[in-house]
Amino acid sequence: MQNFKEILDKSTLKATPQRLAILKELESNGHSNIDEIYENVKAIFPSISLATIYKNIISLKEENIITEVCHPKKNKYEVKKEPHAHFICRKCGEVEDIDLDNALTDELIQNYPNSTKELYIYGLCDKCS
């Protein structure tokens, strides 16, 4: 379990209870979209608004504390981790992390300065195939 208060204290963001709840939600449930985050955090903070969730997600993303996973239906978010790829099931939409060979991807982007690596693989998961 990560120390999110410490992570936020090292950033320009304050460690508010709402931000901590969002980060704990993402850590425990993995890849979640805004609606899923909102519903689960709202159980803890009934008066929280969807706008507050959006603002905090944007701030956390800008501080490089969370990352956005481009999803065909609704983008999902996760706590920042080591570089990895994502497998996205075309049928159920489930997202799985896949280890990434950094040597290969570093070689592919070496001619593109200031690049980032994002790799998405689409197919059918074990449950759907």
Task: List the chain domain ranges.
Answer: 4-79, 84-123
Judge whether 67 and 55 are in contact, CB under 8 Å.
no
pLDDT digit string (tens) for 46-63?
999 999 999 999 999 999
pLDDT of residue 119: 87
- Classify 75 as helix, strand or coil: coil
Q: What is the pTM of this model?
A: 0.86
- The answer regarding whether domain 84-123 maps to CATH 3.30.1490.190 reads yes
- Please state the rounded mean pLDDT for residues 87-111: 84
Share of the chain above pLDDT 90, in %: 75
| Best CATH choice for the domain 4-79 from the list 1.10.3720.10, 1.10.10.10, 1.10.8.590, 3.40.50.10240 | 1.10.10.10
Q: How far is CA 122 from CA 12, 18, 20, 104, 119, in A?
A: 36, 33, 32, 20, 10
